[in-house]
Amino acid sequence: MLLMEQEELKLLEDKCTQENPPACTAGCPIHVDARKLMSDIQKKDLKSALATLQKKQPFPGIIGRICDHPCEDVCKRRDVGSPISIAALERFCVQNQSSNSPKAGMIPEKSQTVAVVGSGLRGLTVAYDLAKKGYKVTLFDKADRIGGSLWDFPKNQLSPEVIVEELSVLSRLKVQIELNREITRLDLADLQEKFAALYLGLAKQSADAVELLGNNYDLDPVTGATAIKGIFGGTLADNDSPIRSVADGRKAAISIDRYLQGVSLTASREGEGSYESKLFVNTQGIEPLPAVSMSNEQAGFTVEEAVQEASRCLNCQCLECIKACKYIESYGSYPKKYLRQIYNNNSIVMGMRHANKMINSCSLCGLCAEVCPQGLDLGEVCKASRVTMIGKGKMPPSAHDFALRDMAFSNSDKFALARHQPGCNSSSYVFFPGCQLSASSPEHVENVYKLLMEKLTGGVGLMLGCCGAPADWAGEQDLFRRNWEVLAAEWERLGKPQIITACSTCHSMFQTKFPNIVSLWELMADMELPGQEDMLSGGRVAVQDACTTRHEPSIHNAVRKILQKLKYDIEELPYSRERTKCCGYGGLMSFANRELAQKIVEDRISESDVDYVAYCAMCRDRFASKGKRTWHLLDLIFSDDLEQAAVKPSVGFSYRHENRAKLKRKLLHTLWQETPSDQEEAYMSINLQINDRVWGIMEDRHILIEDIQQVIGYAERTGRKFTNPDNGHSLAHYRPLRVTYWVEYEPQEQGFIVYNAYSHRMEIVEGAHE
């Protein structure tokens, strides 16, 4: 999916059920928003509660007392307790808040006239709905009062006063009421002439209906239209359900309105009446609560009882991904909305692209797809959008530049290497430790390589470099492909050995590219490990599964097997294995949205108090950077000082480069007995004094030691700098490629003290250089 098309967007949007109504609303034939009603009652805002009822109910004072509440049959509280007493709560509302009916005169009047025959709930609803739309409605009833069977309800449930008061709204809506008027088949022609449309408020196939229409009572169940043009009727066969009668009337009112406006009677009517909502609601882990009982059944709920009962409402929503993902949560909405924003962002030709940062902030970890009942993967959409942005030249250069330069470093001569095992001229295996383990714990790369050479036969080659993940994550497909072609050529040169990965990201990047790869953890799980016999109980640890192993259960199992061999008790985090959480490095989130990536670390490390074990170098370093005691799995196997290893600070960006370069030089020297030809640039010998404060600034601003050395080297060579006579500081800048670095420094005998560093991407055109 490169460019999301409208149809594709629609399909994706449909997967997100958050905007679907709660079960109660969908189950209500007229779609009363019971979820909102419960929230109103919880806040004791009865005015708002009544408005919520009035939005859908024609006569809330009546319906609120007699509704047969099909909503309660589908209420999700049923799974954890008993359904919310929605009907009793409606009654509470209408008993305690007088209705504030629509005022006449607010509605633009229409000239068309409608006759409604019969004033039961059907006819009353049609009269009310159409009068509210401005039609001139006349209501006929053969009795001497309107209301039909409403008068049959027990007085203590529905009193005559309430009926009169509630139905008085019809007069305010200027409905003409003609009582004692029995309409027979003989009157029909006359009514058809006088009125633009006719509604027969009778149950389908009732004696009255058959009497009136005879064989013409052939009714469209969707619209209520009879075979005679302009005459509509009830589609329900009985009067048993008050709320369904209201819905039946409403259906006809919609049809009559459409008929009078000359538009399609049948178009998009799927949503009318009761239906099953697609909204997913997870009731797992919710404490069951029984219904609140009334102290006085006759009087109904007291305020306290009503608030308590309404508070049992689950406020049904999906939000599964929002509960699991800080990124999705942080943009304040839900995927359906984000999909639209991303689509719009991709479609903009001129103007601001407001969703760029959102698209670049996703870790692409796939957790959303795992927890979404419909499997919607927002990360896939973000990734595809990044590819689109690159294709259009609209990717903000600052988002991924630093990470891509880091990748370029790892694949330069400074780090990249591909060799057979010393003394061998073929390889059955090749160890690919990856760039980040080499940067964080170069000693472990050495340890592991030695172990593999000792345990495996047939030659274990070594390949140093970057798998290309930063390019893939940044949407740079061409760069990723070129990178992979280089790696593939080296691998072929080594005789296509089986690749052993130590980094889960490399593993995931290679999975579809190279045949027969194996993770270091799978190999180690079946190996005798150094120091294994000496281990006493290691204590309790929680495992941080790397997000790129989400669908690699054999790696999850292998890691746990290794920990068991080392005699550790394993605690499973609430989100682990296929539901694990990213550390905020994945998808280059930490470069595009540093603040969010920090929050994600804080959230993850707060899941358990026990020490963590990670098998991704970035997870380990990022957790440690926030003070969480975290080991890399290799620490537990090779480290002499576990205390120190648990708290070892994260290796800063500058030293990540240096560690990789040193590792290559060391291995070349110790294993292959080669003296690497150091082609250091002159500036690299510049000695810097940098205190912790300045280190922090450099890390925050992604400024490396070599950037600072270049600035000072250039300034001291050319004299192009500013000076402060008061303190002897110099301030200079240099732009190696796309970023201008500024450094405030002071020359010392043995080098330079660095006081500050900052950068900008905008280019300033200066006068004569050098």
Which residues contact another protein (rule: CB under 8 A)? 351-354, 356, 396-399, 715, 719-727, 730-733, 740, 742, 756, 758-768
For the CB of residue 353, give the shortest distance to another protein in the complex, in Å: 5
For the CB of residue 711, give the shortest distance to another protein in the complex, in Å: 13
Residue 628's closest CA among 739, 544, 726?
544
Nearer to another protein, 664 or 702 (CB): 702
For 752, phi then psi, to 5°, come to: -140, 140
Report whether 219 contacts 228 (CB < 8 A).
Answer: no
For the CB of residue 650, give the shortest distance to another protein in the complex, in Å: 23
For the CB of residue 761, give the shortest distance to another protein in the complex, in Å: 5
Pairing of strands 460-464, 417-419: antiparallel
Nearer to another protein, 361 or 411 (CB): 361
The DSSP line for 170-202 is HHHTT-EEE-S----GGGHHHHHHH-SEEEE-S
Nearer to another protein, 430 or 715 (CB): 715
For the CB of residue 407, give the shortest distance to another protein in the complex, in Å: 20
Nearer to another protein, 172 or 392 (CB): 392
Residue 403's closest CA among 537, 652, 592?
592
Measure the CA–CA gap between 187 and 194, rounded to whole angstroms. 11
Residue 679's CB is within 10 A of a number of other CB atoms, namely 8
Nearer to another protein, 16 or 703 (CB): 703
Long-range contacts of 208-217 (CB under 8 A, 24+ apart): 208/118, 209/233, 209/234, 211/184, 211/185, 212/117, 212/183, 212/184, 212/185, 212/188, 213/185, 214/185
Taking each helix axis as running N to C, give the angle between helix 86-96 and helix 46-56, from 0 to 180 degrees, rounded to the nearest 10: 110
Nearer to another protein, 65 or 733 (CB): 733
Residue 368's closest CA among 312, 416, 318, 441?
318
Which 3 state secondary structure label does DSSP give 539? strand
For the CB of residue 282, give the shortest distance to another protein in the complex, in Å: 36
Residue 434's closest CA among 444, 422, 423?
444
Dihedral sign, Cα of residue 140, residue 146, residue 150, residue 153: negative
* Single-letter code of the amino acid located at 85: S
Which 3 state secondary structure label does DSSP give 642? helix
Q: In this structure, what is the dihedral angle of CA atoms 549, 508, 597, 415, given to the nearest 10 degrees?
A: 130
Nearer to another protein, 641 or 766 (CB): 766
Dihedral sign, Cα of residue 218, residue 224, residue 229, residue 231: positive
What one-character DSSP code corresponds to residue 412?
A: S
Nearer to another protein, 74 or 589 (CB): 589
For the CB of residue 362, give the shortest distance to another protein in the complex, in Å: 17
Report whether 429 contacts 461 (CB < 8 A).
Answer: yes
For the CB of residue 738, give the shortest distance to another protein in the complex, in Å: 10
For the CB of residue 385, give the shortest distance to another protein in the complex, in Å: 14
Nearer to another protein, 229 or 769 (CB): 769
For the CB of residue 749, give the shortest distance to another protein in the complex, in Å: 20
Nearer to another protein, 689 or 740 (CB): 740
For the CB of residue 325, give the shortest distance to another protein in the complex, in Å: 24
The DSSP line for 681-746 is -GGGG--EE--HHHHHHHHHTT--HHHHHHHHHHHHHH--SEE-TTT--EEEEE-SSS-EEEEEEE
Both structure tokens of 116: 């409604």
Measure the CA–CA gap between 449 and 199, rounded to whole angstroms. 86
For the CB of residue 331, give the shortest distance to another protein in the complex, in Å: 16
Nearer to another protein, 610 or 731 (CB): 731
For the CB of residue 387, give the shortest distance to another protein in the complex, in Å: 17
For the CB of residue 697, give the shortest distance to another protein in the complex, in Å: 10
For the CB of residue 348, give the shortest distance to another protein in the complex, in Å: 9
Nearer to another protein, 389 or 582 (CB): 389
How far from the centroid of its chain's Cα atoms is residue 631's Cα? Answer: 30
Nearer to another protein, 125 or 730 (CB): 730
* H or E element, residue 328: helix 326-330
Nearer to another protein, 649 or 719 (CB): 719
What one-character DSSP code corresponds to residue 420?
A: P
For the CB of residue 564, give the shortest distance to another protein in the complex, in Å: 49
Nearer to another protein, 287 or 700 (CB): 700
For the CB of residue 477, give the shortest distance to another protein in the complex, in Å: 20
Nearer to another protein, 280 or 742 (CB): 742
Which 3 state secondary structure label does DSSP give 614? strand
For 666, phi then psi, to 5°, come to: -65, -45
Measure the CA–CA gap between 250 and 224, rounded to whole angstroms. 10
Residues constituting the chain: 770
Nearer to another protein, 528 or 726 (CB): 726
Report whether 759 contacts 701 (CB < 8 A).
Answer: yes
* H or E element, residue 556: helix 553-565
CA angle 630, 634, 635 (to 5 degrees): 50
* H or E element, residue 324: helix 320-324
